A and B are shown apart, each in its own frame.
Chain A
Amino acid sequence: MNRQDLQTIIYAEKAKDLNNKYKHKLCVCCGAGCISSGSEEVLKKLQEEVKTRGLESEVEVISTGCMGPCNQGPLIKFLPEYAIYQKVDCSNIARIVQSQLVDKKPIEDLLLFSDSRPKPFINAKEDPFFKKQHKIALRNCGHINPERIEDYLVHDGYKALDKVLFQLSPEEVIAEIKQSRMRGRGGAGYPTGLKWESVYKYVSDQKYVICNGDEGDPGAFMDRSILEGNPHRVLEGMAIAAFAIGANKGYAYIRGEYPLAIKRFEMAIKQAKKLGVLGTHILGTEFSFDVEVRIGAGAFVCGEETALIASIEGKRGTPKPRPPFPAESGLWGKPTLINNVETFAGITPIINNGGEWYSEIGTPKSAGTKVFALAGKINYSGLIEVPMGTSLREIVYDIGGGIQGGGEFKAAQTGGPSGGCIPAEHLDVKMDYDSLISLGSIMGSGGLIVMDKSSDMVDVARYFMEFCMDESCGKCVPCRVGTKMMHDLLQKICDNKGTSIDVARLEELAVYVKETSLCGLGASAPNPLLSTLRHFRQEYDSRIDLE
Chain B
Amino acid sequence: MKMVSSTPVPELPKTDPRVKLIAAKIKKENHKADALIEILHTAQNAYGYLPMNVLKYISTELHLPPSRVFSTVSFYHFFSLKSKGEHTCLVCTGTACYVKGAQLILNEIEKQFKLKAGQVTPDNKLGVQVARCIGACGLAPAVVLDEEVFAKVSADDIVHKINAKIVAP
Contact = CB atoms under 8 A, between A and B. Distances in A.
Interface of A: 32-33, 35-37, 69-71, 73, 215-221, 224, 255-258, 294-300, 311-317, 373-377, 381-383, 413, 416, 447, 449, 451, 455, 463, 467, 471, 473
A216 B132 contact: yes
Nearest to B142: A36
B98 A221 contact: no
B55 interface: no
Given A295-B38, A377-B99, A449-B95, 12 more contacts: A33-B138, A37-B151, A69-B138, A217-B95, A219-B95, A219-B96, A224-B135, A297-B77, A373-B138, A376-B100, A381-B138, A451-B99
Given A295-B38, A376-B95, A32 B135 contact: yes
Interface in B91-108: 93-96, 98-100
Interface in B24-41: 32-38, 40-41
Given A299-B75, A316-B75, A36 B136 contact: yes
Interface in B1-60: 32-38, 40-41
A217 B134 CA distance: 10
A477 to B, nearest CB: 18
B138 A220 contact: no
A546 to B, nearest CB: 23
B95 A256 contact: no
B132 A300 contact: yes
B137 interface: yes
A300 B132 CA distance: 9
A375 B140 contact: yes
B111 to A, nearest CB: 20
Nearest to B39: A314
Nearest to A466: B93
A316 B71 contact: yes
A373 B97 CA distance: 13
A375 B138 contact: yes
B76 A70 contact: no
B129 to A, nearest CB: 11
Nearest to A416: B95
8 contacts: A32-B136, A33-B136, A215-B135, A298-B76, A317-B76, A375-B99, A376-B140, A383-B138
B34 A413 contact: no
B72 A316 contact: yes
Contacts of B139: 33, 36-37, 70-71, 73, 381
B81 interface: no
B150 interface: yes
A447 B75 contact: no
A455 B77 contact: no
Nearest to A318: B75
A424 to B, nearest CB: 16
Contacts of B137: 70, 219-221, 373, 375-376, 381, 447, 449
B79 interface: yes
Contacts, number: 138
Contacts of B78: 256-257, 296-298
Contacts of B38: 294-295, 314
B72 A314 contact: yes
B135 A297 contact: no
A35 B149 contact: yes
B79 A297 contact: yes
Given A35-B149, A219-B94, A256-B41, A317 B75 contact: yes
B72 A447 contact: no
A33 B140 CA distance: 10
B77 A218 contact: no
B138 A71 contact: yes
Question: Among the interface residues B34, B99, B134, which one has the most CB atoms of the partner chain A within 10 A?
Answer: B99
Question: Among the interface residues B76, B93, B94, B96, which one has the most CB atoms of the partner chain A within 10 A?
Answer: B96
B117 interface: no
B95 A314 contact: no
Contacts of B32: 314
A83 B165 CA distance: 39
B115 interface: no
B142 A294 contact: no
A473 B94 CA distance: 19
B166 interface: no
Pairs A-B, 10 closest by C-beta atoms: A70-B138, A218-B94, A219-B95, A298-B77, A36-B149, A297-B76, A218-B133, A375-B96, A375-B137, A298-B78
B65 to A, nearest CB: 13
Contacts of B72: 314-316
Nearest to B40: A297
A299 B95 contact: no
B112 to A, nearest CB: 23
Nearest to A70: B138
B151 A33 contact: yes
Contact of A220 (B37, B76, B133): B133
A297 B99 contact: no
B157 to A, nearest CB: 14
Interface string B113-145: 000000000000000000111111111101000
Contacts of A257: 78, 131, 133-135
Contacts of A313: 34
A494 to B, nearest CB: 12
A236 B41 CA distance: 27
Contacts of B133: 216-220, 257
Contacts of B36: 314-315
A459 B37 CA distance: 35
Contact of B96 (A255, A300, A314, A381): A381
B132 A298 contact: yes
Nearest to A31: B138
A224 B139 CA distance: 15
Nearest to B33: A314
Contacts of B35: 314
Question: Among the interface residues B35, B78, B131, which one has the most CB atoms of the partner chain A within 10 A?
Answer: B78
